[in-house]
Structure 1
Amino acid sequence: MFERKLWRFYFSQKLIIAGLCIGFAGLVLFSSSSASHTETNGMELIGNLVLLLSAVLWVGGSLYGKKVNTEAYSNTMVTSIQLIAAGIFSAFLAFPTGEWSRFSPDHISLQAWGGLAYMITMGSMVAFLAFTWLLTIRPPALVGTHTYVNPVVAVFAGWLFIGETFSTMQVIGLAVILFGVLLTKIQEYKELRIFGKGWLSIGKN
């Protein structure tokens, strides 16, 4: 939606419009199912809205970063600016929420420190840096395939390592979301010949 120059293409494709509607329906299904299994329905809804907003802002920032003159700024610098800005914003956001007054290093467990170290190294320095770098050398349709992998890995890891539970409706909602994302990208994949004649001819041979 942020790529205004491609609006004519996007809104002329029935699959893209259908994918957006189906994906949103899956999001509502997943969120409502999550809220129905908790006692804090209000906070669950707010949490889902925050996650949705963060995804929108991530896309906007990634598209902006892609347009930055890579000759003047390296990918490492562009990525670092994004991460530092996010850290500063989070630090200031902690004031009105009262997190600074409750913060005490002595009360932080070794497991929590380990999780923080993992997110800094693997989540930021490795994964996010690789993501922004790929955007500069590969078509967005290919880079966007991480959309299919991340939710599945997150749900499976939560179940495997910390015993999180999820309902059948949540799984269905997740599948609907992924199907919607696939529909929005089919046309791009065709243009990249992923579903084109090149692959069909290989299959016939």
Structure 2
Amino acid sequence: MTTPTKTTSTLWVIVAFAVIYVVWGSTYFFIQMAIHGIPPFVMGAIRFLLAGMLMLAWCVFTGEKLGTLKKNKHVFISGVMMLFGGNGALIWAEQSVPSGLAAILVSAGPIWFVLLDKSHWHINFKSKSIMSGLVIGFGGVVLLFSEQLSGALNTHSFAQLPELCVLIFGSIMWASGSLYAKHKAHGTNATVNATLQMLAAGIAFIPGILINNELKGFSVSTVPASAWWAVAYLVTFGSIIGFSAYVWLLKVRSAAQVSTHSYVNPVIAVILGVAFAGEQISIKQVIGLVIILCSVLLINMATYRKAKRRKAATI
């Protein structure tokens, strides 16, 4: 993505947010579909190595400068933190953790962003709209999945404690890696950054395959077609399109604003379930959806006010 003018920059921002809101809202379902036929670390390696190699071919074709290993050190580190530490934790945990409970723990991401982004503490902690938006948004997600949460806590809380801890750790790693990329990974464009981050993450999954002995008994011929279709969707939409949009947004928008995808993704997941899977939605869930959307507006309001004040100062 490029930003040749102020007008196109605004358009790209809207498109990029739409992508990470809608596309990543559907990936919970496709991750579970994929790991039903493919071991989790094998799936992660296939997804990110394939996506990274396709994007690498595109970078070579378009003449993008990839830089040296030393120059891209921070890019590689951020890729491993986000895609292996963050997304890998989700992939591994979704083998047994209900998707609703996983969505609640992952949705704590915006809170971690604010707590870990020390350079913006003086802005975020003084902004009533950002702080109230974070709290209200997390409450909305809990309300949205309150029934699933209640059932999970009654039947799975202690048995799945390791998976829940891994999900929390993964959420922290995603926020940490994103902030690291925003503040450290400079010098290359967003397309090259996303390419190298996915390749680094794909390689990071390989030791997990060996440690878990996931290749034992695994045969490509026994993988159902639905799992391959899910991987194809995750590679194309979740990684190449979605992650590229996310990396670019981190360069042009505040971390707190970009992190709102963690609140919106569960909303999209519920809407898709109602529209295409015949799922039912309760009044409580509708209220949760409205609360989440209001929280996103509150968080974005701080950015809008800041831009308005900056514009007024230049007149």
Q: TM-score of the superposition, structure 2-length normalised?
A: 0.50
Following superposition of structure 1 onto structure 2, how do residues 101-180 of structure 1 map, counting pairs within 5 Å? 101=216, 103-136=218-251, 138-140=252-254, 143=258, 146=261, 149-180=264-295
- Determine the structure 1 residue equivalent to 2:183: 67
Following superposition of structure 1 onto structure 2, how do residues 10-89 of structure 1 map, counting pairs within 5 Å? 10-36=124-150, 40-42=155-157, 53-71=169-187, 73-89=188-204
CA shift in 2, pair 1:144/1:36, >3 Å? closer
Cα deviation for residue 40 of structure 1 reads: 4.8
CA shift in 2, pair 1:67/1:116, >3 Å? same
**Alpha carbons 2:141, 2:263 under 8 Å: kept:** no
- Determine the structure 2 residue equivalent to 1:8: 122
Cα deviation for residue 115 of structure 1 reads: 1.2
C-alpha distance in 2 between matches for 1:162 and 1:93:
33
Aligned CA-pair RMSD? 3.6
CA shift in 2, pair 1:143/1:20, >3 Å? closer
1:58-114 Cα deviation digits (max 9, x unpaired): 33222221223532x342332133323433444444566664445332321112111
Aligned residue pairs, count? 194
% identical aligned pairs: 37
1:159-183 Cα deviation digits (max 9, x unpaired): 3334444544334334333333332
Is structure 2 residue 307 aligned with structure 1 residue 192?
yes
Letter in 2 for 1:30: L
Gaps of 5+ in 1: 198-205
Gaps of 5+ in 2: 1-113
- Runs of 4+ off more than 6 Å: 43-49
